[in-house]
Amino acid sequence: MIKVLFTDIGGVCCDNPYRTMSAGLNSMFGIPEATAMAAFVREAVYLDRGDIDFRSFHARVISDLGIQVDFEHFEAMHMESLSLKSDVCSLVKEVSRKNGVRLVALSNMPEYTWRLLDEKYRLAGMFDDAILSYSCSVVKPDAAIFAIALRKEGVDASESLFIDDRKENVEEAGRIGIQSILFSNCEQLKRDLSINGLTALP
């Protein structure tokens, strides 16, 4: 029986801001979006783990890409890219309420972005709890973050379900016994939640 629904944030509940920013840098500098995205992902590990702050993240990304973008412009691009997926958020909240399961964020997330999302969308209030990489200094797909989440919620792996848009995260969760859904869109998520015994209203 599922007692806790763990969900990623960026890429599931919100659009991944780095994808939008990569498109913006492509328009500004002609940098291939895949190249820009790779730089964001590479440096985000340090940001998400709490090793560096957002200003240092900016400096490292533009150095990697060999471009000049001042911090204020970079920060504004990031803020504008934080877009909520209201259909997904409504679905997981409804599933949590209807099925009596806890809804817990489990995400690679820097404190800076979490604060912005909460200011913009009151996102923290959507969850019963949040296990975020910056607060535990571990990033997915490291198995340690899943162990932390299970321990904090007081459940076995078999009593939880995890949603993420990255295959490697889903695979690692599955490896330690957590039932997992690889997210692509809201309709697919609704079907997969139902398959796992968590239904929403029609």
Residue 12: its pLDDT value, please? 98
Assess whether 114 and 64 both reside in one domain.
no
Give whole-number Cα distances, 197 to 171, 193, 200, in Å: 20, 6, 10
Same domain, 150 and 180: yes
Overall number of domains in the chain: 2
Shared domain for 32 and 132, answered yes or no, is no
Token pair of 84 as six digits: 């909520």
123 in the same domain as 61: no
What confidence score (pLDDT) does residue 161 get?
98
Where is the domain boundary, 80, 106, 133? 80
> What is the pLDDT at residue 48?
97
Q: Is residue 140 part of a domain?
A: yes
Please measure the distance between the N-terminal and C-terminal CA atoms of the chain and give it in whole angstroms: 22
CB-count burial class (<10 Å; 0-12, 13-18, 19+) for 92: buried
b/e sequence 55-76, b meaning 16+ C-beta within 10 Å: eebbebbbeebeeebeeeebbe
> Do 133 and 146 sit in the same domain of this protein?
yes
What pLDDT does 95 receive? 97
Residues 96 and 53 reside in one and the same domain:
no
Q: Are residues 66 and 113 in the same domain?
A: no
CATH assignment of the domain containing 109: 3.40.50.1000
Asked if 144 and 107 sit in the same domain, the reply is yes
pTM assigned to the model: 0.94
Co-location of 185 and 89 in the same domain = yes
Q: What is the pLDDT of residue 198?
A: 95
- Could you tell me the maximum CA-CA distance found in the chain, to the nearest angstrom? 52
101 and 58 in one domain?
A: no
Task: Judge whether 201 lies within some domain.
Answer: no
115 and 62 inside one domain: no
- The parent domain of residue 89 ranges over 4-14+85-195
The pLDDT value given to residue 200: 81
Nearest 5°: the CA angle 195, 84, 148 is: 60
Q: Which among 80, 102, 124 is the end of a domain?
A: 80
Q: Which of 80, 104, 125 is the last residue of a domain?
A: 80
- Asked if residue 125 and residue 44 are part of one domain, the reply reads no
Give domain status of residue 104, yes or no.
yes
202 assigned to some structural domain:
no
Residues of the chain with pLDDT under 50: none
Do the domain assignments include residue 148? yes
How much is the pLDDT for 202? Answer: 62
Instruction: Examine residue 57 and state whether it is found in any structural domain, yes or no.
Output: yes
